[in-house]
Structure 1
Amino acid sequence: MATVSVRITPAKDAIVSQQVFDECVTVPASDASGAVSPVAASAGVRRNVLDMFSLDGKVAVITAGARGLGYSMAEGLCAAGLSGIAIIDLQCDLGERACEQLYLQFGVDAKFYRLDVRDDAAVQGAMDSVVRDLGRIDIVILSAGVADIVHAEEYSPEKFHRVIDINLNGSFFCAQAAGKLMIAAGRGGSIIFVGSMSGSIVNWPNPQCAYNSSKAGVIHLMKSLSAEWAKHRIRCNSISPGYMDTPLNTVFEEGYFHEWKSRTPMGRLGQPEELAGCALWLASDASSFCTGSDILIDGGYTVL
């Protein structure tokens, strides 16, 4: 498309540097019908939007990826063309089976690494192994997490520490280890934290002060790293689910399920696969100008 140069002249009473208006702005010229494409007017290069979701040639790491939310997001990324995926989990049988299923379904090179995310030295060793085995790390999804329903006055220090150590400290150790490798490689990357709507609101009537505190910390950790690492082209964002139908929630009393559904405008729990589309968007070039964002997927719970 042909372009024309336009010079803008400020009003006489405008209090603004003349230099700003001395710059030439290039806009697309109209076609034979006189129409101007709004897309071409705002972008230098037109791309097929579906192509922007491709993950061809990229490698992802997913903590707690052997089942539940982590595995569903792994499936979503593999469907977009990953060349390799690392599943990190504590449960060997589930982890190995997850890798077999991903390979059979998508043909992706899938490897399992047993890891406790609370062990910072082991975390760095696992990330180094991923680079050695799969060649690189482009995407990290941090979905390892635990929850308790315990009244605050009865919370033991050990149980409180466990939730904070896995949910918050573990997220930092994994992000730090992967971030170092991404910075060294110089290609940038996408780190996706799994927060929770509980990091933004107190989801009554659950007594879960440790979980809520940990997820609020995860979201702010994500925002802090997004600011620090933007210069390295590492984008950090978080997905914050509402009540999801996962093994993490099935251990709680059935009475809570009715309460959760009644307080959710959509009247149901979310399904694990309903996070996959958002994870793919954040992992891909489709979200290349998005960093520091917390995306709520909660059936409308937090709008009330």
Structure 2
Amino acid sequence: MENIGQKRFLDFDLVGGAFVVTGGARGLGLAMAEGLVEAGGKVHCLDRAPSPDEEYEEAKKRVVPEWGGSLHYVQVDVTNTASLNASIESIAADNKRLDGLIAAAGIVEVTPAIEYTVEGVSRMMDINYTGLFMSATAAAREMMRYGCRGSTCLVASMSGIVANKGMNSPVYNPSKAAVIQLARSLAMEWTPVQSDRRGGIRVNSLSPGDVMTPAVQEVFERNPGTREIWESENMAHRLANPVEFKSAALFLLSRASSFMTGSNLVIDGGHTAW
């Protein structure tokens, strides 16, 4: 066992590691990416926008090079599997390794069930589940190729556990429930080290409560009164800020959670506890 007492917070040290964060250009994904950068990780943010916006550029200005980390942008739509696979393969090849993935790309839509179209259901599931699934498999393939005992965090939601008051989301909620179950399934498949030494990849899901992101702000604008309902439903009586999930992401991607796999980490201000 390594003597971790010789270096401060060694279990959280990501220096020399390469990581991918999908949906990493803004909001929750970007906040979690910053957490990995602060710990010294080389982080590649994948997002579908042709170029990063002001929020990403401000985050890049906050990077402290002396800490060993860096932030990089790659334009990728997770629903384009060929492009997604090629991008993650290229990132791993450039670094000769891939140590972790945070799959945070997703969309939220508040629509009554009887108003949904087949196309609307497909779009939600294509991004929130299929895109996330393909991101996880693309990353795992590269971890195995380079012999990295990596870690994957699939971003789910407390909406995969409960039906949120004031939010008609009959497709979003099941998409996140599927992510929680996917983490368990992939953990069972990838965590054991095989005879050919493949495997050793931990997989967990993270279920945030209500977080103030650009997507959630759009929900509030279209549905007056929703914010007040959501704030009253958790013990903190407020929404979370994306930066409050930086440490959780670092924990799940680092050696600090080395015996944790197939779990769902719920951080929701006590929403699902009462």
State the TM-score, normalized to the length of structure 1.
Answer: 0.81
Letter in 1 for 2:266: L
Aligned pair 1:271/2:222, yes or no?
no
Partner of 1:262: 232
What displacement does 1:97 show?
7.0
The worse-fitting range, judged by mean Cα deviation, of 292-301 and 109-118 is 109-118
- Pair 1:204–1:178, CA change in 2 (3 A): same
For residue 188 of structure 2, the aligned residue among 227, 234, 237 is 227
- Pair 1:269–1:246, CA change in 2 (3 A): same
Partner of 2:49: 91
Q: Distance in 2 between matches of 1:133 and 1:184?
A: 13
Q: Distance in 1 between matches of 2:59 and 2:207?
A: 26
For the Cα contact (< 8 Å) 1:54–1:284, is it kept in 2? yes
Q: Which has the larger radius of gyration?
A: 1
For residue 243 of structure 1, the aligned residue among 195, 202, 210 is 210
What displacement does 1:52 show?
0.6
Structure 2 residue matching 1:254: 3-state secondary structure: coil
- Number of aligned residue pairs: give it: 260
5 Å-filtered alignment, 1:1-304, equals: 46-48=3-5, 50-82=9-41, 84-94=42-52, 98=56, 101-102=59-60, 105-107=63-65, 108-231=69-192, 232-252=199-219, 253-304=223-274
For the Cα contact (< 8 Å) 2:63–2:71, is it kept in 1? no
Q: Distance in 2 between matches of 1:125 and 1:97?
A: 26
Letter in 1 for 2:37: C
Letter in 2 for 1:60: F
Structure 1 residue matching 2:153: 3-state secondary structure: strand
Instruction: Structure 2: state its 5+ residue gaps.
Output: 193-198
Q: Deviations over 1:182-215 (max 9, x none)?
A: 1121121011010000111111231101000100
Q: Distance in 2 between matches of 1:105 and 1:174?
A: 25
Instruction: Structure 1: state its 5+ residue gaps.
Output: 1-43
Q: Deviations over 1:32-89 (max 9, x none)?
A: xxxxxxxxxxxx554237111110110110011111001111111111111x211100
Q: Percent identity?
A: 38
State the TM-score, normalized to the length of structure 2.
Answer: 0.90
Q: Distance in 2 between matches of 1:303 and 1:250?
A: 25
Bigger relative contact order, structure 1 or 2 (CA pairs below 8 A, ≥6 apart): 2
What displacement does 1:104 show?
5.6
- Pair 1:276–1:199, CA change in 2 (3 A): same
What displacement does 1:94 show?
1.9
- Pair 1:131–1:45, CA change in 2 (3 A): closer
For the Cα contact (< 8 Å) 2:40–2:70, is it kept in 1? no
Q: Distance in 2 between matches of 1:187 and 1:181?
A: 8
What displacement does 1:106 show?
2.5
Structure 2 residue matching 1:292: 3-state secondary structure: coil
